Amino acid sequence: MDIFFLGTGAGVPAKLRNVTSIALKLLEERGSIWLFDAGEATQHQILHTSIKPRRIEKIFITHLHGDHIYGLPGLLASRSFQGGESEVTVYGPKGIKEYITVSLSISQTYLKYPLKIVEIGAGIIFEDDQFTVEAQLLEHGIPSYGYRIVEKDKPGTLLAEKLVEAGVQPGPIFRKIKEGESVTLEDGRVIIPQDFLGPDQKGRIVTILGDTRYCENAISLALDADLLIHEATFSKGEETLAFDYFHSTTHQAAEVARRSGSKQLCLTHISSRYDRQASRELIAEAQEIFINTDIAEDFKEINIPSK
Ligand SMILES: [Zn+2]
Ligand SMILES: [Zn+2]
């Protein structure tokens, strides 16, 4: 599981930072990639990476400001030319469906793969046997969502030696126990899987927030997250500006990380007013409150190791 930043800037594209797009690479977990926002030229950014558009399985849009969605129709269209045949689901606030369908129909774009568009509300918006994704509203000029991606716990490793000691021979019985099924042996003994499995392997939690003011929903979405990705459009001391423009400062992002018990914070949505040197100062500001802070750069990757 890795986070890969395709764009990390606020508002308008800049030389140092393109507008927002974040890839959650789940290649080992499910052979696919989930994208969060698709600012203009996201597909151009992808050209510089090993990401294959046909691997994109889901696209989560935080909100409908242009710097988060202008790259979406082009990306969806190109995926058709790049061998994408599997279904894509786009999740986003009300309006996303009209935006996509109008863009594709006016440009007479016909996709060669099924496209599902889900207009979301607050709550669990996706769940399968591997992951749940929860969305909650943040505080921005228009409806803006944060996403909490929770990997489900996996059963622990099979204690094979212990099974052999108990007189169970390797074979199909091992697989059943690994899958959590109780097994009755020929001699009548019942093998309870819990006795022969190590501790559950804890799933990971990643929280990716859309543009927002400092707010309580950000904290609940980030509860105990292994990685929190939070915007920091403004510097510390600019709280009034941040409030007026519905954004956050470095200190506010760090405060969300601290109060939520997140393990790691990565700042993004950085204004083009900050050059490389100034970006480092933004980290230092956040670290006054939350030490394990980093800042996103275009093409930066962060691994989220298994626990
Ligand atoms: Zn934005
Ligand atoms: Zn915005």
Residue 256, classed as helix, strand or coil, is: helix
Per-residue tokens: 72: 């979406």
The whole-number pLDDT of residue 33 equals: 98
HSE-CB at 77 with a 13 A cutoff on CA atoms is 16
H helices of 109-249, in order, are 160-165, 172-178, 216-221, 239-244
How remote is the CA of residue 124 from the centroid of ligand 2, in Å? 23
Ligand lying nearest the CA atom of residue 245: 2
Mean per-residue pLDDT, 105-116: 97
**Residue 178 pLDDT class (50, 70, 90 cuts):** confident
Give the percent of the chain with pLDDT over 90. Answer: 84
Q: Report the distance separating Cα 108 and Cα 235, nearest Å.
A: 44
How remote is the CA of residue 306 from the centroid of ligand 1, in Å? 31
Q: Report the distance separating Cα 282 and Cα 252, nearest Å.
A: 12
Decide which of 173 and 259 is more confident.
259
**Amino acid letter, residue 105:** S
Residue 244, classed as helix, strand or coil, is: helix
The whole-number pLDDT of residue 167 equals: 86
Q: Report the distance separating Cα 157 and Cα 151, nearest Å.
A: 17
How remote is the CA of residue 170 from the centroid of ligand 2, in Å? 56
Question: What pairing do the DSSP bridges indicate for beta strands 205-209 and 145-151?
Answer: antiparallel
How far CA 19 is from CA of 121, 176, 268, in Å, comes to 25, 48, 10
Mean pLDDT for all residues in the chain? 96
**Residue 291 pLDDT class (50, 70, 90 cuts):** very high
**Mind listing the pLDDT tens digit for each residue in 49-66?**
999 999 999 999 999 999
CB-CB contact of 7 with 51 (8 Å): no
Residues 210-226: b if buried by 16+ CB within 10 A, e if exposed: bbbbbbebbbebbeebb
The whole-number pLDDT of residue 101 equals: 98
Mean per-residue pLDDT, 85-111: 97
The whole-number pLDDT of residue 168 equals: 86
**Mind listing the pLDDT tens digit for each residue in 118-173?**
999 999 999 999 999 999 999 999 999 999 999 999 888 899 999 999 888 888 88
Q: Is the pLDDT score of 259 beyond 90?
A: yes
Mean per-residue pLDDT, 274-293: 96
Q: Is the pLDDT score of 112 beyond 90?
A: yes
How far CA 233 is from CA of 72, 109, 224, 244, 293, in Å, comes to 22, 35, 24, 12, 15
Which residues lie at CB < 5 A from ion ligand 2? 65, 211
Q: Is the pLDDT score of 287 beyond 90?
A: yes
How remote is the CA of residue 12 from the centroid of ligand 1, in Å? 9
Q: Output DSSP code: residue 19.
A: B
**Mind listing the pLDDT tens digit for each residue in 182-227?**
888 888 989 898 899 998 889 999 999 999 999 999 999 999 999 9
The whole-number pLDDT of residue 179 equals: 83
Q: Which of 2, 37, 67, 128 is catalytic?
A: 67
Per-residue tokens: 105: 């129909």
Nearest to 36 by CA among 82, 68, 12, 74: 68
How remote is the CA of residue 69 from the centroid of ligand 2, in Å? 10
Q: Report the distance separating Cα 101 and Cα 109, nearest Å.
A: 10
The whole-number pLDDT of residue 83 equals: 87
Q: Report the distance separating Cα 125 and Cα 116, nearest Å.
A: 13
**Residue 97 pLDDT class (50, 70, 90 cuts):** very high
Q: Is the pLDDT score of 249 beyond 90?
A: yes
Q: What is the sign, positive or negative, of the torsion defined by CA atoms of 225, 231, 232, 234? A: negative
Query: Is 67 one of the catalytic residues?
Result: yes
Ligand lying nearest the CA atom of residue 144: 2
Q: Is the pLDDT score of 175 beyond 90?
A: no
